[in-house]
Each structure stands twice: as structure tokens, then as C-alpha cells.
Structure 1
């Protein structure tokens, strides 16, 4: 199959899979994967250029408010089951390239990127222990001592899990096991993987498998989590995290005073608003942890895009940021982040990430 013909076939199968998962037709989705393999599309391309490409489209369509939450969940569940059955369709090579543990950061429920990586590594000839979503660091370390893998592939999609990722990377290094990090949480250029001390970073499953073909350097000595992050000495991250519940309650009450319409909110509407505020505080705290304003402003840009797609002006976020800034007036790094974000939203310069 020529490169052009292969590209056309992959695009056609991706479109058919899209129609199947958005229609909720699991059997059609599974049949399509069998057909793609039978037509000579290589298994790695089926995984990454068909299934993963459709999953990314699912996320974009939900963000644009063209898929409901239920439709997004159903499509994701179908893709997950298709991947689970994928291995039964193939004769994978005998492992000959070493052993890799694939796990998600503690608190990270988005397991599909890690699952895709595990399947690609198996196709390449690695022995793989796939541990799935939200793996606590102590459990992961116990597994490392029992199995002695050559490396840990640590996946994270949510940036708010970066402090947990840091603890996990440090724990793996203490067990003399190198870490390759991947996923959106670590930044589009891997900046947070480097900051938190991972031995390697990869932007996608193919690049991760390529990098793992050569052994990662063994860690010499584990750093303490604060060693690479001297800014944590100001305690702003710790104090904001510990006071997050109070901050959400105070800002929620302040919004009700500023925005009269909120006084008529149902209990469910108030709960949704509180959850949104909790996300803002959590991303603010994470930006303080890594000392990077773009983490917070990118999150707010993404949130602004979500709100705009649902008919809510992005400037609706500004009063919440003002109230947070007032509550955190004694925290110079936090107020600086909030001031920058508020200015971008007020001027409309924030754009969907």
C-alpha cells in the first residue's frame, strides 16, 4: 500500500469509527478495527491514527458543545473497549526489548493515553505491566520492587496532578527506576517533566516507544521534591491548597452579592459553580507549584472557550478572579497570577487553548 493510499485508508476508517462511536454502536466500531487490520493497515496506525485520532476529536467536539457529556462518555467507553479487544486480534512479538511499567499519576482518571502507549510498546516487543488509572506512589513503588522494570512510563493529562507526579517521580527514582513522562499535564514541550526531574519526556506514544528503545539513564540519587523548586519556600502553594475549601465558599458568597441572578440559583447550579471555582483554585495552586503563569492562563483560556461555546461570556470569570485576588492579597505570586489572568480576560485577549 502506497503512502498516499495508506493515508486515505486511515482517514476513511477514522471517519467511519467516528460515526460508530458517536452513534453508540460498539459492534460497528469493533468490526471496523478488524476490517482496517484486514486491509493491511498496520496495528500501530490503527491504534494511533484511527482510534486515538477519533478520541481527540471526541474531546474537541465536547469542548465546542457539539457533543453532550453523555455522548462523550459513551464514545470514550466504546473506544476503550475496542482497545481492550485489540490485543486479541494480533500475534504480538515475543518481548525482547525490556520491561516497562505504564501507569497514570495518582488522581489521574484519563487512562486512555497510557493504555494506547502500553499497546504500542507491546507491539514493539516490550514486556509491559499496565497498571491503569490513578496509581498511588506507594503502590507503584511496591510494584517496582517486586518486578524490577527497566523504566516507568508515567502518564498525566490534568496539570493539577503535577504535584502528585513530582512525588511519584521522586519515589520511582528512590527505587532506582528511571521515569519517562508523557501526556498533556507535562506541557506541550515537556517543560514540567524536566522541571520535576523525569529522566525523559515524549510528546506521544510513538516518540515514547522510540525513546525507550534505548535504556534510560538510571537515577543516581532521588531529589527531595522541594530541591528543584526553591520558590516553594514561600509557602504560597501549601497555604492556598490548605485554604482551598474556604476560598471557594468565600468567593461563592461574594459572587452571590455581586451577581443578583445567582441568588435564584438552584442547589445544583450552586454546586456546579462551586466546582468551577474549585478548579480555578486548584489550577492556581498548581501554577504556584511549578512557578509558571502560563499554566494558569492557559487553563483560563480553555475555560473561556468552553463557556463561550455554551453562550456564557468569558468575562463572567473576572469577578471570581477579583474576589480571589482580594482573599489572597498577602500572597504576591498568587495575586500576580490572578491579576495577569484577569487582565487577559477583561480585554478579550484570552483564547481557547
Structure 2
């Protein structure tokens, strides 16, 4: 585990979710490939010139944003996951794509007059993957909405203060990292409490938006075009001012989520110490490797806490399986993952839901990845 990158997606990881209503022009593949070559070469000028040329030649701005730039950004995430580009290269590529979005937004063909209502677009507090939200904001502007784009990591109190000031018709909330879902829940409930409906999107909300429904969002969309279509069909109804959703998660009464989240640092320290006895090779690691192992364990505990919040085994199992794949792509046998999960289960033996989630993930991991169980044959 110690030689891996931290097991959470970088900026590119979920730039474009699988779309249910995506329209791909037949000529889009080649332009996307051209932009990808420019972005992968870190050539900002070439990438920008390409998207501007598409607009000059008549490609609709929305198609450039979603069928070219978003596709390229998804590929950036795939290349990082496969260990074909570094985290630094991924950040640079994401920055180039963001500047390409700006170039599109400034083009004469993208200038529109607001004829519809007002939408606030923001990322959940702690969510730094801003490009999906940025793409949505630009698409909504093209569709005639007055858009307030607040960017990444928006604290809920600031979001609510903004809504009081602007009287928005709806909030579009973006989240790519599942560990931000408890915070997203608070933001959704707070927006609804002041009478503003919320549409959510992003990988954090799970396959087909399963966590969006669980957390009480008024609507969910798999990607920007579907979100814009949804908002165009009919306005989201305003919730009652006394709207509350926290009672919809009765399992939180057992305090397992609260305890694991509150004592995460202690859990990480205890497991890290015990893991060196279980996996002797870790004893030879230098300080930097031990620090990375501690970071990896912290992410594991964080995802476990989120699974407890949602009472969803699958969320944690998906994360652990993904982590094993990332390790394998980097040539690191994931053999230390099952012992780490077992040690966590021992520390949390009085917590039945946590134990269940950890055992389910271990079973899936050792079944799908035999080398994780120590079998390298």
C-alpha cells in the first residue's frame, strides 16, 4: 500500500459520468482525439486553438464542451488510473482543459442572453473537482439561464448566504468523491430548508444516482446535458421551509458513523502499528513510505465512515476494489489490503455494521484479486 498514490481520484477521476442522454455528433471523435494529443503534450495554445477552430467552423459550443473537452478530461482520468501519466501531469491537463472551457465561453457563438431563471452551481464543501460543475454552469448559460457559478469547495453557510441574497430558483450541487456525501446531505437539507430545490450530479452520488435519492435531493442527473434537459422540462418545485431529511437515515442512531469519523486518527495509528507485525515488509519502509501508508489507511477509514453514514456495503467494496486496481496498475501487489481490513474489523468488533462492511469488502477483494490474499501463483 505504501507505494501507491493516495487512493482517491485526482481532479480528472470523474470528470464525465456515464451519460444516459448523451448525443455524440459523428465528427466529434476526431476533434476530441486532436485535443487529447495537445493536452497530453501540455500544449495549452494548441488545445485552445483547436476548440476555437471548431467553433469558428460551426460546431455548437455545447458540443465542444461536452463531446470534446469533457471527453478529453475523462481520458485524463483514465490515463492517471492506468499509471500512464503522473498526478502532476493530470493536474496540468485539467488546468489546460479548464482554460479551454474559458476560451469557449468567451467565443461570440457562446454569448447568450439570460431568458430563464437563476441557478446556483457549486461543488460540495471539500470537493475540489470543479471542472464538472464548471461544464454544467457553461451549458446552463448556453441554454439561457442566469448562472451563479461558485466553484470548488463551497462551505454550506456561504452557499446559504448566497441563496438568501440571490433568491435562486434552484441549486445544482456537484460531487465526485463519495466521502463528501455527509457534507452534501447537510448542504441539500440546508438549501431545502430555505425553500430552494437541489439537483445533484457527479460520481459521488453513486450508480444511477442511488445516493441522491437516499439523501433527499429533488433531482439527479448523470451529466451536464441531462441536467440541463431536466431543468428545461419543468422547474423544480420549491420545498417547504421546514423541510428536513435527516430522519430518513434511522441507522445513524447507532452512532457507528459518528464514532468511526470522530476517532479516525486513532484507528489509523493503531492499525498502522499492528500492520507492521502482520506485513513484516512494512518495517523496512522509510519515513515517506510510512507516511503514504498512513494516508492510504486514512482514506480507507474515511470511506468506511461514509459507507456507515449511508449504510451501504457496496460503496466501500467499490472503493477497495478500485484501490486494488490502482495498486496493480502501479506494480504494487495489494497484499496488505486484506490484513488492514482485518485489523480494522478487530478494532471495531463491537460495531456490527462496520464489521459487516469490512468483511464484505475483504471477501470481494480476495475473490476478485487473488494476489491480495497473498497468492502470487
Q: TM-score, normalising length from structure 2?
A: 0.89
SS in 2 for 1:130: strand
Query: What is the DSSP-based 3-state SS (H/G/I as helix, E as strand, rest coil) of the residue aligned with 1:152?
Result: strand
Contact 2:193–2:244 at 8 Å: present in 1 too?
A: no
**Offset at residue 9 of structure 1 (A):** 2.7
Q: Structure 1 residue 160 and structure 2 residue 179: aligned?
A: yes
Task: Determine if contact 2:200/2:221 at 8 Å carries over to the other structure.
Answer: yes
**Shift of residue 349, structure 1, vs aligned partner:** 5.8
Kindly provide the CA deviation profile for residues 35-89 of structure 1, in whole angstroms up to 9, marking residues without a partner as x.
1112221111100010000000000110011111111111111001111222111
Matched positions, count? 345
- SS where residue 67 of structure 1 aligns? coil
> Is the CA contact (8 Å cut-off) linking 2:39 and 2:96 kept in structure 1?
yes
2:147 match: secondary structure = strand
1:85 aligns with 2:103: yes
Point out which structure has higher relative CO (alpha carbons under 8 A, 6+ apart). Answer: 2
Structure-to-structure mapping, 1:101-250, within 5 angstroms: 101-213=120-232, 214-250=234-270
8 Å CA contact 1:159–1:186 kept in 2: the answer is yes
CA distance in 2, matches of 1:310, 1:279: 18
Q: Does 1:269 align with 2:289?
A: yes
Matched, 1:289 2:309: yes
User: Could you tell me how far 1:120 is from its partner in structure 2?
Assistant: 0.2
Distance (Å, rounded) in 1 between the aligned partners of 2:157 and 2:242: 15
Aligned mate of 2:61, from 39, 43, 48: 43
Q: Helix, strand or coil: the match of 1:190?
A: helix
Instruction: Pick closer, same or farther for the CA change 1:254–1:225 going to 2, 3 Å.
Output: farther
The answer to whether 1:341 aligns with 2:327 is no
Out of 284-293 and 220-229, give the one that drifted further: 220-229
Q: Larger deviation: 292-301 or 313-322?
A: 313-322
5 Å-filtered alignment, 1:30-69, equals: 30-69=48-87
- Displacement of 1:267 in angstroms is 1.1
The answer as to whether partners of 2:279 and 2:336 remain within 8 angstroms in 1 is no
Unaligned runs of 5+ in 1: 1-5
Superposition RMSD on alpha carbons, in Å? 1.3
What is the CA–CA distance in structure 1 between the aligned matches of 2:185 and 2:243, rounded to whole Å? Answer: 10
**Separation in 2, partners of 1:129, 1:97:** 13
| Between 319-328 and 252-261, the greater mean CA deviation after superposition | 252-261
- Checking the alignment, whether the CA contact within 8 Å between 1:10 and 1:41 is kept in structure 2 is no
User: Secondary structure of the equivalent of 1:294?
Assistant: helix
Q: Secondary structure at the match of 1:134?
A: strand
State the distance in 2 between where 1:320 and 1:58 align: 30
Q: Are 2:279 and 1:255 equivalent residues in the alignment?
A: no
**TM-score, with structure 1 as normaliser:** 0.95
Shift of 1:223: 4.3
Distance in 2, Cα, partners of 1:11 & 1:200: 30
Kindly provide the CA deviation profile for residues 174-229 of structure 1, in whole angstroms up to 9, marking residues without a partner as x.
11000000000011211111111111110110110011112101112444453110
Q: Distance in 1 between matches of 2:362 and 2:281?
A: 22
Instruction: Report the Cα offset of residue 147 of structure 1.
Output: 0.3
Could you give the per-residue CA deviations for residues 274-311 of structure 1, whole angstroms, max 9, x where no partner exists? Answer: 11101100000000101111100011111111011111
SS at the partner of 1:227? Answer: helix
Aligned-partner Cα distance in 2 for 1:70–1:135: 24
| Cα distance change, pair 341–186 in 1 and its aligned pair in 2 (3 A) | same
